[in-house]
Amino acid sequence: MVKLAVLGSTRGTSSQAIIDAIKEGRLEAEISIVISGKKSAYILERASSQGIESRFLEPSGKSREEFDREITNLLEEKKIDIILLVGYMRWLSPEFVRRWKDRILNVHPSLLPAFSGLFDRKVHEAVLASGVKETGCTVHLVDESKDAGPILVQKKCLVEKQDSVGSLKEKVQSLEGEALIEAIKIQYAYLRKGNSQ
């Protein structure tokens, strides 16, 4: 069974799809901990209401490296296999990325490499301004580049004339959970294969 940790700064909507898939037996996994550097992030409440350990870590007064080391200590304690970034609004330190190489999955609300480097609503604003006919989400491995690690899963939806930032965000979010579930299965199989050789 794959042991997951979720890092998030927002509502963590996509994490609910993973929680549901675990309950329904569609994903052999356990979310061992949810961590946020934002005390008011609803993702912490979502986790604790489902009986999942949730932890707020105070980022102020710490360097990115110091903050990330605190996270690493928690993840090592929990023997985490895969880390999911779900609406995580912080860039990770190179040290953290190297420590957890091939184990960090990020869900980005566009079809990367398009609209990389943007967060949340800014992505959907840029999609609408560009006039593209299709958007979606991407789950990729995190490396030291910005939103440019190897892509594992992409899911698409149409951009329609009547779409607003809000409606586009909803459409894309509805794809993110399944994309994450697929990516977890792909990457865990890869990690197990690597460890058994």
Active site residues per annotation: 108
Extract the tokens encoding 28.
Answer: 């052999």
What is the phi-psi region of residue 51: left when phi exceeds 0, alpha when psi lies from -120 to 50, beta otherwise? Answer: left
Residue burial 21-41, b: 16+ Cβ < 10 Å; e: rest: bbeeeebebebbbbbbbbeeb
Question: Using CA atoms, how far apart are residues 64 and 47, in angstroms rounded to an integer?
Answer: 24
- Indicate if the alpha-carbon torsion angle 30, 35, 39, 42 is positive or negative: negative
Return d(Cα 124, Cα 46) in angstroms, integer.
25
Half-sphere exposure for 26 (CA within 13 Å, toward CB)? 11
Question: Of all helices (H) and strands (E), which one includes residue 6?
Answer: strand 2-7
The amino acid occupying position 143 is D
